[in-house]
Structure 1
Amino acid sequence: MKITCGTDAGQESDESLAARYEITFDGKRYTFREYKYDRFGDALRYAAMTHAKQGFLQDKAFQPLWLAAYSPTAEDEAIMRLHGIAYVEGHYLYGS
């Protein structure tokens, strides 16, 4: 089974794939059932594999959720810089 993600023409959007495979995004992490992922591709692969299993039952309580990706405000970043803290790809980094 091949799953494409991204926004190129002819491909389904990440948000649409997430809704189809019961994945939510809270602005920081992707969730499929009780599992949480930092990367959408990891969540999608596991969800698609699970959906393909014989006897799979969809979660009737699933509600699509796709929030904007979290990032600190400019004011937050200014304060963080004063203390040697950076926010890079969803993670706070202190020092080197």
Structure 2
Amino acid sequence: MIPILYGLVVFALYILANISVFCLYTYDKHMARNDGWRIPERILLVAALIGPFGAYGAMRIFRHKTKKIKFYLVPVFMILHIAGMLYVAVLLLHISQ
């Protein structure tokens, strides 16, 4: 059985990853407004795969990359993460019984 402390550490890292991705998207939007160096879309998409909730939040709040077809993948990444979390939760419940 996974100790609760490990679960909390994993959860904290996941939250940190999503906050980092949110900041990355925010930075790119700031640079877009100021004609600065932009982050390549490929990197933004990989970051969204790691932290889709942060990416989606920044996309909605700052209206960034919302018209690009490639970035329609971000909600799909969110669904995959939710499905993965549910799968792990069911496994942990099954193991603990």
Q: Structure 2 length as normaliser, TM-score? A: 0.28
More helix by share: 2
Higher relative contact order (CA 8 A, sep 6+): 2
From the two aligned structures, give the one with the greater strand fraction: 1
